Structure 1
Amino acid sequence: MKTVKILGAGPSGLSAAINLSQNDYNVDIFERNLDVGSSAKGNLQGVENWSEDLDLIEEFKKMNIKTNFHCEPFKNLRITNSKENWDFSCNKPAFYIIKRGTDKSSLDQGLKKQALDNGVNIRFGETAPISDVDIVATGGDPKFKFAVGKGISFETEHENIAVGLVNNYHAFKGYSYLLVSNGFGCIATVLFAGFQDLNKYFKRTVDEFQANYDLKEKHPDKFSGYGSFSNQIMKKGDQILIGEVGGFQDLLWGFGTRNAIKSGYIASKSILDCEDYCKLAGNHFKPKLNSSIVNRFIWEKFASNNYSIILNRIYNSEDPLKYLNSFHNFNFLQKLTYPFALFYMKYRYPNLKL
């Protein structure tokens, strides 16, 4: 049996390991932490259900991923800029809320169990030189940072709810959010500029949500993170780069979990079928990465009106999810706008590989 070595046991590394191990490969994962999800602090994440044609659960099945973890569908969502509210009610799930961390119901623990059940050898507390592994899945690279976030997770008796807050007072060029799902809650703010003032924006966000919702947080725990982006399908020597270290995050809102799992699946497919990883990943991700450059450009250009023009367009569309889907797949208007957006974004983010 052939052996594949993976550096990092995040969602992308575990996704690759699950698929390889199901096809008679020996898989060794080197994970420097003592458990998966140890840095996530039990926070909640909304995984978008509009960027792909397939529903998230159906795509998981296609990628041989079982949903043995918390994955709550949400059809309703409120977006506010503190002056106007947009209440979305969709015919199908707009997103799924998952839990991260070491809790047994988390995405991380669910994927770990699937990997172990398939015979994957996860070597916790160990690392390896990049040159000695086949797949690198070590998380974001700070050199390519484009956004930072800070949040607090907690237990609560509040009903399930999802609220997005977009204005430059609470999250400069970014957004804040409140998620509650089955007794767990999360408040966070994500900045795309003004990183040095993250604590200020985070406090404003917490104060805003606490003033408007009776959350009664119990056992609060803070977490933080950042997003990495690259518009290039990345390899380092002979090593395949997947997930955040490959830059597979959305430049508009920083979503990356779905991309991470998909990139792990594509990496495994390239090995199993002896196909070129850059070509396979490029065919799937390049349109989405290009789209996100244009989307971020448009988002920042309309910041002065607290995003009401953009949100009204989405809200008043016949099918908001279908409308959003078109803006994640490099449509005709995005292709026309791309040269101007790329020029602006290279100036705006000189550290990114664009």
Structure 2
Amino acid sequence: MNKEINILGAGISGLACAIILRKNGYDVNIYEKRKSTGTRFNSDWQAIENWSEDTDAIDEIRSIGIDTSFKCVPLCELNLHYSDKIRNLSGDNACYMVKRGTDSDCLDTCLLEQAKALGVNIHYGTIPEEDVPIHIVATGPVKGNILAKGIKFSTKKADAYHMALGSEIAKGFYSYLLIKDGEGTIATVFDNKNVLDSEKYLQNTIDCFSEYIDQEDIISGHKFGGYGYFEVRENMYNEDGAMLIGEAGGLQDYLWGFGMRYAFQSANLAVRSIMTGESYDELVKANLHQKLKHSKRNRKLFEMLGPLAYPLAYHLFDRSKDPMRFLNRVYR
């Protein structure tokens, strides 16, 4: 392949891919139909999971040549809620909280600045001409089968890290409250089949975490919605032969809805395919498919358990001496 690579999409997978390519001597063009990077998000807290593999997620990102100067908070303690029960879970760097959006300390903005400093050509508000060959598609989820609704707010409340389970707050998934340095995010994550109940889930989530938040902060906060897409694809190329990375390829965790780690991993695999001539399909199957299939298996098992799913999940976490080790085994 020639030394000029064209990428569709300036999200985290597209930018990460461009950064690695530039560091290996390639000229890179990114075409982004939006006017800026990070506009899908609201500078709200999200998380990069750190339990599905033995390698630390941030160390892994650094190892592929990405600067991690974005705001990143290791989460070592979490309060898990179910019904009227609360269990404090602790572990070394269970996940990393990052902000997504357009603020200067957001993950998206940090990657954008790195790409620009390296000389990546980013064309905003642009769809490439038909004669421009596209090598990598990083346009994010094509549709949503995992949905989220939440509020980003400012607060004087203390730092807090909470997750809650229950059909009344997040059918099939979970709700969370994250507060760090006066910046708070409260949200519910649910299946797309339950979109009509989103307002109810969000209000019930607010009620669930009421003792840790100030209602006036929530009222004056900014509401947001989001979505993710999961699919186990046998073919990781589109009809024109471009590699599909990140959620454009359905790379997402179907049990919990964490996809950022897949964004970086698939970007690196796409670069490897370009540089070595290896099949991107085969690289994804060898490195990511097992986790994806386990994610799908876990989701099906969760759904099969029906009303027993949440109490059983809480019980397993409650009884576990090492919750992060337990989660790691779930993905093996």
TM-score by length of 1: 0.87
Q: Take 2:271 and 2:72, find their aligned partners in 1: how far apart are those partners?
A: 24
Alignment-mate amino acid for residue 161 of structure 2 = A
Q: How far apart are residue 212 of structure 1 and its match?
A: 4.5
Residues 162 and 179, structure 1, Cα contact 8 Å, conserved in 2: yes
Q: Take 1:61 and 1:273, find their aligned partners in 2: how far apart are those partners?
A: 21
Q: Which residue of 2 aligns with 1:44?
A: 45
Q: How far apart are residue 235 of structure 1 and its match?
A: 0.7
Q: Which residue of 1 aligns with 2:17?
A: 16
Alignment-mate amino acid for residue 255 of structure 1 = F
Residues 82 and 314, structure 2, Cα contact 8 Å, conserved in 1: no
Q: Counterpart of 1:51 in 2: which secondary structure?
A: coil
Q: Take 1:82 and 1:317, find their aligned partners in 2: how far apart are those partners?
A: 19
Alignment-mate amino acid for residue 17 of structure 2 = A
Unmatched tracts of structure 1, length 5 or more: 330-354
Provide, for residues 146-188 of structure 1, a one-character-per-residue CA deviation record: whole Å limited to 9, x for no partner: 2211111112222222111110111112211101122211011
Q: Counterpart of 2:53 in 1: which secondary structure?
A: coil
Alignment-mate amino acid for residue 261 of structure 2 = R
TM-score by length of 2: 0.93
Q: How far apart are residue 215 of structure 1 and its match?
A: 6.7
Q: Take 2:48 and 2:215, find their aligned partners in 1: how far apart are those partners?
A: 22
Q: Which residue of 1 aligns with 2:303?
A: 300
Q: How far apart are residue 213 of structure 1 and its match?
A: 3.2
After TM superposition, the runs of 4+ consecutive aligned structure 1 residues lying more than 6 A away are: none
Please point out which of 311, 324, 329 is paired with 2:314. Answer: 311
Please point out which of 251, 256, 260 is paired with 1:257. Answer: 260
Please point out which of 235, 238, 241 is paired with 2:237. Answer: 235
After TM superposition, list the pairs within 5 Å mapping 1:1-12 onto structure 2. 2-12=3-13
Q: Which residue of 2 aligns with 1:291?
A: 294
Provide, for residues 61-110 of structure 1, a one-character-per-residue CA deviation record: whole Å limited to 9, x for no partner: 112111110110010001111221121011x1111100010000000001
Q: Which residue of 2 aligns with 1:95?
A: 95
Residues 232 and 292, structure 2, Cα contact 8 Å, conserved in 1: yes
CA shift in 2, pair 1:183/1:129, >3 Å: farther
Q: Does 1:276 align with 2:270?
A: no
Q: Counterpart of 1:88 in 2: which secondary structure?
A: strand
CA shift in 2, pair 1:322/1:250, >3 Å: same
Report the aligned-residue RMSD. Answer: 1.8
Q: How far apart are residue 310 of structure 1 and its match?
A: 2.1
Q: Which residue of 1 aligns with 2:203?
A: 203
Q: Counterpart of 1:258 in 2: which secondary structure?
A: helix
Q: How many residue pairs were aligned?
A: 326
Overall identity of the aligned pairs, in %: 38
Q: Which residue of 2 aligns with 1:169?
A: 168
Alignment-mate amino acid for residue 175 of structure 1 = Y
Q: Take 2:216 and 2:315, find their aligned partners in 1: how far apart are those partners?
A: 32
